[in-house]
A = this chain, B = another copy of it.
Amino acid sequence: MMFSTRAEYGVRVMIALARKRGSGPVPLAEVAEAENLPLSYLEQLVAKLRKQELVHATRGAHGGYELTRDPSTITMAEVVQALEGSLIPMQCFSEPGSGRVLCNHEIDGFENCATKLLWTRVQGGVARALEQTTLAELAEFAEHGPQHAQPARRRNRGGAKPSGRTAVGT
């Protein structure tokens, strides 16, 4: 598996906040009950979102969380990165000095690290998918289904995919 439940749960919280936007702070307990997720765990996740200034907290009674920005300006890349940490497909991307071998090709410099080419492409694919998906789009999808949701911006001109349906197959 590639992402943990942190990403799953955290994204759900963000979607819930996006859908309740404009009605003041939303208590986390409300989201937890609606989504059937453990409150204490969500608290830890929301802390990460707050540190990245994706949500704003109001303490005390009638407090709760609100989005800091418009959902259409929040990409899933920001959200998932806040929740999961850096979005690297392999450890050697971030920790060149770690004890494990992984990227010994870089040390001796004798040959080109072919696996790094591979992981770079994978990372690019993930990053593209996350950046092109906005919170607004997911919130819209959750409310009205596939018919209204549209990706942020598609770069593929040309006649690809004439179907108006957004793909959600297995």
Interface residues of A (CB under 8 A from B): 1-3, 5, 7-8, 11-12, 15, 35-37, 76, 87-93, 100-102, 104, 111-122, 124-130, 132-133, 138-139, 141-143, 145-146, 149, 156-158, 166-170
**Chain A interface main SS type:** helix
**Closest CB of chain B to A119's CB: distance in Å?**
8
Report the bound CA distance from A112 to B169 in whole Å.
Answer: 13
Q: Are A118 and B138 in contact (CB under 8 A)?
A: yes
| Residues of B with C-beta under 8 A to A104 | 35-36
Report the bound CA distance from A139 to B114 in whole Å.
Answer: 7
Report the bound CA distance from A139 to B133 in whole Å.
Answer: 34
**Closest CB of chain B to A153's CB: distance in Å?**
14
**Closest CB of chain B to A33's CB: distance in Å?**
12
| Residues of B with C-beta under 8 A to A35 | 101, 104
| Residues of B with C-beta under 8 A to A37 | 101
**Closest CB of chain B to A1's CB: distance in Å?**
6
| Residues of B with C-beta under 8 A to A129 | 118, 121-122, 124-125
Q: Are A36 and B101 in contact (CB under 8 A)?
A: yes
Report the bound CA distance from A91 to B100 in whole Å.
Answer: 27
Q: Are B149 and A76 in contact (CB under 8 A)?
A: no
**Closest CB of chain B to A141's CB: distance in Å?**
5
